[in-house]
A = this chain, B = another copy of it.
Amino acid sequence: MSACLPSVYPLIQAPMAGAQDHRMAAAVCRAGGLGSLPAAMWTATQLAGEIEALRALTDAPFNVNFFTHEMPPPDEAVKARWQHRLQDYYRHWGVTADSAPVPLRRPFAAEQLEVLQQYRPAVVSFHFGLPQAGLMRAVKDTGAQVLASATTVAEAQWLADHGADVVIAQGSEAGGHRATFLGSDMATQTGLFALLPQVADAVPVPVVATGGIADERGIRAALALGASAVQLGTAYLLCHESLIGGVHRTALSAAAGAVAAETAISNVFSGKPARGLVNTLMRDLGCLNEDVAPFPYAAAATAALRSAAEAQGDSSFTPLWSGQNPHGCRAISAYDLTRDLCGCFEG
């Protein structure tokens, strides 16, 4: 067992809502890593089903990940402004703003807690801070080890002070949503090389490194900088078990082989800043656009555009989540990828 995680090896498959389910988690767990179930876009009932499906495939410990954002009250004026910003696209693609439903990302709440109390996963991780104190206490009472992500030293200290057992230092290289929850300034986001040793020095709990780790070199470097474990997401996105759609797979395959995969942090897909391969919507609107509806509402307005464009193999409106090093992506099973990566922990 690894020193800071219940898995055989100190490697976490990053939870990736919309991109994977229990099949990827099970493959990683069977290979000795810590597989993750990404619960942010699932109902409590769906989550329970995923846990049961995972347990049918492996007895190994696993991680369940939740978002802990605030849900601002819906604001029709803000929604209208965002849809107005997109109206030329609606016209061009012949869709209306509301013509494609999209699962809303929901924060951790009482009904998710009930699922944890019933199934008692070994590890629970949170993104965007931690649940409010009562919920947090109840999660810890299930016996789960609690992990949470920090993008700054201040966030890492806040998490350790508020009960996180392990802090995940998320370097600016990471794909998907920035975990940022204290402040919102993307100009001061920190690369893993600088963030990791400062976090390791600042908190009394073990630190997991994530962001830009693509292979054994990255794992060794993270351990050298003070990490007790690593978390990889992008590297798993081309695996057989990945659920990403065709345009995402095509773009990521190109990036994995390309000299210069351009990614940027953008809020245009969900309302919160997240890193992905640069595409038309990001270029047209600017990566950080002020008209975007707040998280998690923004995604609904581009869902119809995304569907229409993807049907023609066009990735203009698809969030092409990727970290800054997609060169670790391989079209193999998550089991084989995990075994390969974990080789560096042997002897």
| Chain B residues near A198 (CB-CB < 8 A) | 325, 327
A191 touches B211 (CB 8 A): yes
| Chain B residues near A264 (CB-CB < 8 A) | 185, 187-188
Stretch binding the partner chain, chosen from A25-33, A105-113, A220-228: A220-228
The reply on A38 being an interface residue by CB < 8 A is no
The reply on A77 being an interface residue by CB < 8 A is no
B214 touches A191 (CB 8 A): no
Instruction: Report how far A325 CA is from B287 CA in the complex, Å.
Output: 26
Most buried by B among A152, A214, A260: A260
B220 touches A193 (CB 8 A): no
The reply on A195 being an interface residue by CB < 8 A is yes
| Chain B residues near A217 (CB-CB < 8 A) | 197, 224-226
Count of identical protomers in the assembly: 2
When the two chains form the complex, which single residue of B187, B192, B201, B225 contacts A327, counting CB atoms closer than 8 Å?
B201
Kindly provide the distance from the CB of A157 to the nearest chain B CB, expressed in whole angstroms.
Answer: 6
The reply on A149 being an interface residue by CB < 8 A is no
The reply on A247 being an interface residue by CB < 8 A is no
| Chain B residues near A197 (CB-CB < 8 A) | 214-215, 217-218, 325, 327
A:207-246 near B, CB below 8 Å: 211-215, 217-218, 220-222, 224-226
Most buried by B among A190, A194, A214, A324: A194
A259 touches B191 (CB 8 A): no
B260 touches A153 (CB 8 A): yes
Instruction: Report how far A153 CA is from B262 CA in the complex, Å.
Output: 10
B173 touches A193 (CB 8 A): yes
B188 touches A191 (CB 8 A): no
When the two chains form the complex, which single residue of B171, B201, B260 contacts A193, counting CB atoms closer than 8 Å?
B171
A:56-84 near B, CB below 8 Å: none
| Chain B residues near A325 (CB-CB < 8 A) | 193-194, 197-198
A195 touches B265 (CB 8 A): no
The reply on A323 being an interface residue by CB < 8 A is yes
Residue interface mask A147-176, B partner, CB < 8 A = 1: 000001110010000000000000111000
A263 touches B153 (CB 8 A): no
A173 touches B191 (CB 8 A): yes
A220 touches B211 (CB 8 A): no
Kindly provide the distance from the CB of A335 to the nearest chain B CB, expressed in whole angstroms.
Answer: 24
Kindly provide the distance from the CB of A264 to the nearest chain B CB, expressed in whole angstroms.
Answer: 4
Q: A173-B194, A187-B264, A191-B212 given. 4 additional CB < 8 A pairs?
A: A193-B218, A195-B324, A197-B214, A202-B259
29 residue pairs from A and B, CB less than 8 Å apart: A152-B260, A153-B260, A154-B259, A157-B259, A173-B194, A185-B262, A188-B264, A191-B192, A191-B212, A192-B192, A192-B193, A193-B211, A193-B212, A193-B213, A193-B218, A193-B221, A193-B222, A194-B214, A194-B324, A194-B325, A195-B324, A197-B214, A197-B325, A198-B327, A217-B224, A218-B225, A221-B222, A221-B225, A224-B224
